[in-house]
Amino acid sequence: MRAAWRRPLWRASVAWMLGAMAVVPLLAAEMGDDAYREAVAQLDAQADRALAHCKQLAGGPNAQRRCLLEAETQHQVDAAALQARRHPSGNNHFKALAAQVERRHALAAEDCKSRHAGNDKDSKSAQQACLREAKQKRAAGIQDAHQQAASEVSIFTPPKSQAERQREADLDTAIRKCDSLLGDANVQCVRGLSPEARLRALSRGSGAPPAK
């Protein structure tokens, strides 16, 4: 795995400025190593530009936090789409769709907190109602992603390559290492996971906390 993908997620996830990579059809040809390396380099270059943009953004810490959240979630979408291009499969296609759902939910939750930021009872009640609605939409989106991926798998599912099986084993090892740690050690370990590993942990219900 390239070192660039092991950078802390807030640092590596700033690819949003040029927009998300499109989720390609399940039956697309597997992406070659040269094309993959070029795509990774492009994402890294976009990350550097977007990070500089967030640092220079006017509007105070709230605006910068929103910028970084957009960057983080957009990079998760891009990373999942890239993996679906490199190794087309039903599971990777689901992850690419799910990453879009998670991005929409994260931004919606942030909007809820911004719109209803007061400490009074009415503001807190409105914020909780807003967050519940966002959570319900997320659940519906994940279900739709499952159904869409399953419908394509029912047509044809390319077998996993040896490289993909080995990569998934390496990701699981890294996730288990973080799960075995407690407190700050766990947080630091999770922050060092690649975007693909974080997405895999999320999809299987790992206890990995979100990056901060």
The per-residue pLDDT for range 35-85, each reduced to its tens digit, is 888 998 898 788 778 878 888 888 778 888 889 889 888 888 998 898 888
Q: Is there a domain that residue 82 lies in?
A: yes
122-127 long-range Cβ contacts below 8 angstroms, 24+ apart:
none
Please check the confidence at residue 9 and state whether its pLDDT lies above 60.
no
Q: Is there a domain that residue 168 lies in?
A: no
The structural domain count of the chain equals 1
Q: What is the mean pLDDT of the chain?
A: 77
What is the structure's pLDDT at 203?
A: 63
- Tell me the two tokens of residue 45: 């270059």
Q: In angstroms, rounded to a whole number, what is the distance separating the alpha carbons of residues 69 and 13?
A: 9
Q: Is there a domain that residue 174 lies in?
A: no
What is the structure's pLDDT at 205?
A: 54
The H-or-E segment that residue 84 falls in is helix 60-86
- The domain in which residue 124 lies consists of 3-159
Q: Is there a domain that residue 35 lies in?
A: yes
Q: Is there a domain that residue 180 lies in?
A: no
Q: What average pLDDT does the segment 96-113 reach?
A: 94
Q: What average pLDDT does the segment 145-171 reach?
A: 75
Q: Is there a domain that residue 190 lies in?
A: no
Please check the confidence at residue 139 and state whether its pLDDT lies above 50.
yes
| pTM of the predicted structure, to 2 decimals | 0.60
What is the structure's pLDDT at 97?
A: 94
Whose CA is closest to 154, among 75, 87, 93? 93
Q: Is there a domain that residue 164 lies in?
A: no
Least confident range from 13-22, 80-89, 106-115: namely: 13-22
Please check the confidence at residue 8 and state whether its pLDDT lies above 60.
no
Q: Is there a domain that residue 68 lies in?
A: yes
What is the structure's pLDDT at 159?
A: 61
Greater model confidence, 195 or 127: 127
Q: In angstroms, rounded to a whole number, what is the distance separating the alpha carbons of residues 16 and 54?
A: 11
